[in-house]
Amino acid sequence: MNVTILGGGSWGIALAVLLRKSGHKVRMWEFNEEDAQTLARRRQHPMKLPGIMLPEDIVITSSLTEALKDAEYATLVVPSQAVRAAIRSVASLVSGSTLAKVRGWVIATKGIECATLKLMHEILLDEIPDLSMDKIVVLSGPSHAEEVSRMIPTTVVAASENNALAVEVQQGFGTDTFRIYTNNDVTGVELCAGVKNVIAVAAGISDGLGFGDNTKGALLTRGMAEIVRLGTRMGAQESTFIGLAGFGDLITTCISRHSRNRRIGELIARGMTLQEALGQMCMVAEGVETTRSVFALARRYEVDMPITTEVYKALFEGKPPQQAVRDLMLREAKPES
C-alpha cells in the first residue's frame, strides 16, 4: 500500500510511523520547507513529537507532486483552517491522472472551517475535481499522537459511505496496537471530532479554576448533550455519539495531559488572554477556531448550546471564566434532555 501523509505535525508523524511499521510505503508532505528539511535530516521533530524517529525510507518533502507520486491513499492531517488552501494547491499542482489513482482520501483532521462552516469532507468535495463520497473516509476517535506513536493500544473508527473503502482502511491502517471499527456516518464522526474540542476547552477552564471530578463529569455529560443536539439536527446518526468518535474521543480529550485544547482552557482560567495562551502552544489547538464555527452553527440551526456559548464568550469576548461558570449554573432549571 502506498500512503501519502499530507501534514508533518505530531499526528502525521505518528501515522507515518504506524503505517511504515505495517510494511506500507509512506511519503510525507510538510508545507513548511524548513520543517520538511528538519524532519528529513533529523528523522524526528523535537517540538512536535520528540523522541519518535521516522524510518529512513519514509520520503519527506515540501513538494506536493513528489508527495502524491504513486499514492493509493492520501491521508489529510493538516490543521482544519488550512485544509482548503492545502487541497486547492493539490488540485492545481498535481495532475488529474495522478489524483485519479488515489483510491481513498483519508481525513484525520478534526475541525470545522470557520469561513464556510463546512466539514472537512465537504471541503475536499469542493476543491478536488470529480471527487465523490465513495472515495472519502474519516479516521477518528480517542487517538493522541503521543500514544499512537509509542504503540500504546488505541481504537478508532473509519467512517465512509463506501463500506468497502472503510474496510480497506480498517485492514490497511489497523495494527495489533491500532484497532479500527467501521462506520457509515461521515457527518456524525466529523462533528464529534470537531465539537468535542470545544468541550475540551471548557474542561481545561474547569481544571484551571480548580474544580473537581463532579464538575468534569457534569461537563462531559452536558457537553455531549450539546453535540447530540447539533449533530442530529445536521443529519448525523444518534448512535455515533455514544461510540468511539463520540464519548470515546470526548472523554480522552477532556482528561488527557496531552490535550492541547484542554491546556488552552486551563491557561485562560489562570488569567491569560487568548493570545497569551496561544503563545504557549507549539502546535495548533483546533478547539479555538472550532469554537467560532460551532457557535455559528448553533445559531444557524437554532440549537441550544450553552457550554459552547460560554466558551465562545470566554475566548473571544473576554468574559471572566468564573462568571461563565456561574451563568451556566444559574440557568433556568429544566428537565434533563
Instruction: Name the β-bridge partners of 112.
Output: 119
Which residue type does 305 have?
M
* Three-state SS at 162: coil
Angle at 295 between CA 293 and CA 300, to 5 degrees: 90
Strands 59-61 and 104-107: unpaired
Give, as one character, the DSSP assignment of residue 48.
Answer: T
192 contacts 249 by C-beta, under 8 angstroms: yes
Name 51's Cβ contacts closer than 8 Å, sequence gap at least 6: 44
5 contacts 12 by C-beta, under 8 angstroms: yes
Q: Is 25 known to be catalytic?
A: no
From the candidates 48, 110, 196, 313, which is the catalytic residue?
196
Instruction: Name the β-bridge partners of 106.
Output: 75, 137
CA distances from residue 74 to 4, 77, 136, 274, 329 in whole angstroms, order as listed: 5, 10, 10, 34, 45
Q: Active-site residue numbers?
A: 196
